[in-house]
Amino acid sequence: MIQHKSIIEFGIIGLGRFGFALAKTLADAGKEVLVIDNNESKIKQIRNITENAFVVGPLDKETLEDAGIQNCQTVIVCIGEKIDVSILTTLNVISMGVPRVIAKAISYEQGMVLEKIGAEVIYPESDMAIRLADRLISSSILDSIELTGDIAIAELKLTSKLADQTVVQANLRKKYNLNIIALEHDGKTTTDITPDIELRVNDKIVVVGKRVNIKKFEEFLTGIR
């Protein structure tokens, strides 16, 4: 196994359904991803998406270093089901000095231990339930992805509040400090956002910015404020 010395954006340990979907989504978004798993067939599958995919045996520190995990900016440990392996692997990654370590947990108790050793914890089933609830409750926010503690990407459905305005007239950057990164109209999506594009009712826009500003914009669209 060749050790990687260049910086890699994301490392993913474990290719269950969650890990595989995460790796594919990041790779499809153009991110560099390093993936390791002990299942050779899964690694063969993921190599269609990223060349940095390696079959490993035990997830000890030496094996992780050989794979180059220590060169990743963010590592996500996706081994929720095997609690002992999850905790020990997470501890090894943290001890290697990786700047950001995220670990999947399937129980509150497991999450507590992972947090105590210094990892960010995610509960995939719970997180998906919350995102679905947000979509059901909100009439404008269709989906959102948290990037950091206060920055998010959100997809919103436009209402009559912005009907027939151009991007420059709507001026979301000045009013809400939000940047439009994609727009969907009549089923067609563009990321080439020019000032003269006209906004229509029921168009979908994808914005990036602080969650508090996204919330203010959503309240404006729904007439709350």
DSSP readout, 98-164? -SEEEEE-SSHHHHHHHHHTT-EEE-HHHHHHHHHHHHHH-SSEEEEEE-SSSEEEEEEE--GGGTT
Letter string b/e over residues 196-223, b meaning 16 or more CB atoms within 10 A of that residue's CB: ebebeeebbbbbbbbbebbbbbbebbbe
Q: Answer with the residue of higher pLDDT: 148 or 77.
A: 77
- Burial label for 5, CB within 10 Å (0-12, 13-18, 19+), is exposed
Q: Answer with the residue of higher pLDDT: 46 or 224.
A: 46
pLDDT attached to residue 125:
72
**225 pLDDT above the threshold of 50:** no
Mean pLDDT of the chain: 85
Q: Given the structure tokens 């947090």, which residue do they identify?
A: 115
Query: For residue 111, what are the contacts with CB-CB under 8 A and spacing of at least 6?
Result: 105, 121, 123
At CB < 8 A and 24+ separation, what contacts does 218-223 make?
A: 218/138, 218/140, 218/141, 218/154, 218/156, 220/161, 220/176, 221/140, 221/156, 221/157, 221/158, 221/159, 221/161, 221/162, 222/138, 222/139, 222/140, 222/159, 223/159, 223/161
CA-CA distance, 52 to 55, in Å (whole number)?
10
Among the residue ranges 35-39, 83-87, 212-216, 219-223, the one predicted with the least confidence is 219-223
pLDDT attached to residue 128:
64
- Average pLDDT for residues 99-128, to the nearest whole number? 88
Please indicate, yes or no, whether the overall pTM of this predicted structure exceeds 0.75: no
CA-CA distance, 114 to 76, in Å (whole number)?
12
- Average pLDDT for residues 116-122, to the nearest whole number? 92
pLDDT attached to residue 7:
85
Reading the block at residue 12, the tokens are 């993913």
Give the relative orientation of helices 83-95 and 108-116 as an angle to the nearest 10 degrees. 20
**80 pLDDT above the threshold of 90:** no
The H or E element containing residue 42 is: helix 40-46
- Structural Rg of the chain based on CA atoms: 20
Query: For residue 173, what are the contacts with CB-CB under 8 A and spacing of at least 6?
Result: 179
pLDDT attached to residue 142:
58
